[in-house]
A and B are shown apart, each in its own frame.
Chain A
Amino acid sequence: MYLYFLCLILFIVGIYCILRKRNLIKIIIGIIIAEYAVNLFFALAGYRIDGRAPIYSQDQAIANMVDPLPQALVLTAIVIGLAVTAMMVAIAIRIYEKYGTFDITKIRKLHG
Chain B
Amino acid sequence: MGSHLVTLFVILPLAAAFLNLLIGRKMKGAPDILANLATLALLIASVFSVFAVAKNGIFVYKVGSWVPPIGIAMVLDGLAAFMLVTVNLVAFLCTVYSVNYMEKFTSKWSFYTLFLLMLAGMNGVIISGDMFNLFVFLEIASVASYALVAFGTEHEELEATFKYMVMGTVGSLFILLGIALMYSYTSTLNMADISLTLAQKGLGNITLFVSILFIAGFGLKAALVPFHAWLPDAHPSAPAPISAMLSGVLIKSLGIYTIVRVLYNVIGVTKEFTNILLVLGVLSMIVGALLAMGQWDLKRLLAYSSISQVGYIILGIGIGTPLAIMGALFHLFNHSVFKSLLFLNSGAIEYASGTRDMRLMGGLREKLPITGWTSLIASMSIAGVPPFNGFFSKLIIIFAAVQAGYIGYGFWAALVSVLTLAYFISVQKNVFFGAPSKAMLSGRDVAKWDDIKEPPLFMRLSMIALAIICIFGGLLLIPAVSGNFLNAATEALTAGRDYANTIFGSLGL
**What residues of chain A have their CB less than 8 Å away from a CB belonging to chain B?**
15, 18, 24, 27, 31, 34-35, 38, 41-42, 45-46, 69-70, 73, 76-77, 80, 83-84, 87-88, 91-92, 94-95, 98-99, 107-110, 112
**Given A73-B132, A84-B143, A110–B173 Cβ distance below 8 Å?**
no
With most chain B CB atoms within 10 A of its CB, the pick from A15, A76, A83, A94 is: A94
Q: Which residue of A lies closest to B165 (CB)?
A: A88
Q: What residue of chain B has the Cβ atom nearest to residue A34's Cβ?
A: B173
Are A87 and B159 in touch, CB under 8 angstroms? no
In the complex, the answer to whether B183 meets A70 with C-beta atoms within 8 Å is: yes
Q: What residues on B are CB-neighbors of A76 within 8 Å?
A: 132, 136
Q: Is the interface of A mostly helix, strand, loop or mixed?
A: helix
A38 and B150 form a contact (CB under 8 A): no
Do the beta carbons of A99 and B155 come within 8 Å of each other?
A: yes
Q: Which residues of A contact B146 (CB under 8 A)?
A: 84, 87, 91
Q: A70-B183, A80-B136, A94-B153 are in contact. Are A38 and B177 (CB under 8 A)?
A: yes
Known: A42-B180, A84-B139, A91-B150. A109 touches B156 (CB 8 A): yes
**B165 near A87: Cβ-Cβ < 8 Å:** yes
Cβ-neighbour of A31 out of B153, B160, B166, B176 (below 8 A) = B166
* Residues on the B chain within 8 Å of A99, using CB: 155
B489, chain A: closest CB distance, angstroms: 30
Q: Is B176 a contact of A77 with CB atoms below 8 Å?
A: yes
Count residues on chain B whose CB falls below 8 Å from chain A CBs: 36
Give every chain B residue within 8 A of A92 (Cβ-Cβ): 162
Question: B169 at the A/B interface (Cβ < 8 Å)?
Answer: yes
Which of A27, A73, A95, A107 is B166 in contact with, Cβ under 8 Å?
A27
B233 within 8 A of A: yes
Q: How far is the CA of A87 from the CA of B165 in the complex (A)?
A: 9
Complex: A108 Cα to B189 Cα, angstroms: 42
Within 8 A of A (CB), among B276-302: 291, 295, 300
Chain B, interface SS category: helix
Taking beta carbons and an 8 Å cutoff, which residues of B are in contact with A? 132, 135-136, 139, 143, 146-147, 150, 153-156, 158-162, 165-166, 169-170, 172-173, 176-177, 179-181, 183-184, 189, 232-233, 291, 295, 300
Query: Considering residues A38, A88, A92, A110, which has the most beta carbons from chain B within 10 angstroms of its beta carbon?
Result: A110
Among A24, A73, A91, A107, the most chain B Cβ lie within 10 Å of the Cβ of A91
Q: How far is the CB of B460 from chain A (nearest CB, A)?
A: 31
Report B-chain residues with C-beta under 8 Å of the C-beta of A46.
184
- Which 6 A-B pairs rank lowest in CB-CB distance, beginning with the nearest? A45-B184, A42-B180, A80-B139, A109-B155, A95-B158, A38-B177
Residues in B whose Cβ lies below 8 Å from that of A45: 180-181, 183-184
A15 surroundings in chain B (CB, below 8 A): 170
Establish whether residues A98 and B158, one from each chain, have CB atoms under 8 Å apart when the complex forms: yes
- Identify 10 new A-B residue pairs, CB closer than 8 A, beyond the known A31-B169, A80-B143, A109-B159: A18-B166, A38-B177, A42-B179, A45-B180, A76-B136, A77-B176, A84-B169, A87-B143, A91-B146, A98-B155
Known contacts A35-B173, A45-B184; A112/B232 CB under 8 A: yes
Instruction: Tell me how far the C-beta of A23 lies from the nearest C-beta in chain B, rounded to whole angstroms.
Output: 12
Q: Which residue of A lies closest to B300 (CB)?
A: A112
B56 to chain A, nearest CB (A): 32
By a CB distance below 8 angstroms, the chain B residues around A80 are: 136, 139, 143
Closest to B131 in A: A73
- A95-B161 Cα distance, complex, nearest whole Å: 10
- With a cutoff of 8 Å between Cβ atoms, the chain B residues found around residue A112 in the complex are 232, 291, 295, 300
CB-defined contacts of A42 to chain B, threshold 8 Å: 176, 179-180, 183
Contact indicator B176/A84 (Cβ below 8 Å): no
CA separation between A69 and B180, bound complex, in Å? 11
Q: Known A88-B165, A95-B159, A110-B160; judge A38-B139 contact (CB<8 A).
A: no
Q: How near does chain A come to B123, taking the closest CB pair, in angstroms?
A: 18
User: Contacts of A94 on B, CB cut-off 8 Å?
Assistant: 150, 153, 158
Smallest CB gap from B185: residue in A: A45
Instruction: Tell whether, in the assembled complex, residue B165 and residue A70 are in contact, meaning their CB atoms are under 8 Å apart.
Output: no
Contacts of A88 in B (CB 8 A): 162, 165-166, 169
Q: For A73, give the chain B residue with the smallest CB separation.
A: B132
- Give A109 to B172 CA distance when docked, in angstroms: 27
Contact A38/B166 with A84-B143, A99-B155 known, Cβ cut-off 8 Å: no
CA distance A69 to B39 in the complex (A): 35
- Also in contact, A110 and B166, with CB within 8 A (given A45-B184, A76-B136, A77-B176): no
How far, in Å, is B223 (CB) from chain A's closest CB? 15
Closest to B176 in A: A38
- The smallest C-beta distance from B46 to any residue of chain A, in angstroms, reads 27
With contact pairs A45-B184, A77-B176 given, residues A107 and B169 touching in the complex (Cβ less than 8 Å): no
Docked CA distance A91–B184 (Å): 36
CA–CA, A70 and B233, complex, Å: 36
> What are 15 pairs between A and B in contact, CB < 8 Å?
A18-B170, A27-B166, A69-B183, A69-B189, A84-B143, A84-B172, A87-B143, A91-B150, A91-B158, A91-B161, A91-B165, A94-B153, A95-B158, A95-B159, A112-B291
User: When chains A and B are docked, how far (Å) is the Cα of A87 from the Cα of B139?
Assistant: 13
Instruction: Kindly list chain B residues whose C-beta atoms are within 8 Å of the C-beta of A83.
Output: 139, 143
A87 to B158, CA, bound (A): 12
Q: How far is the CA of A79 from the CA of B165 in the complex (A)?
A: 17
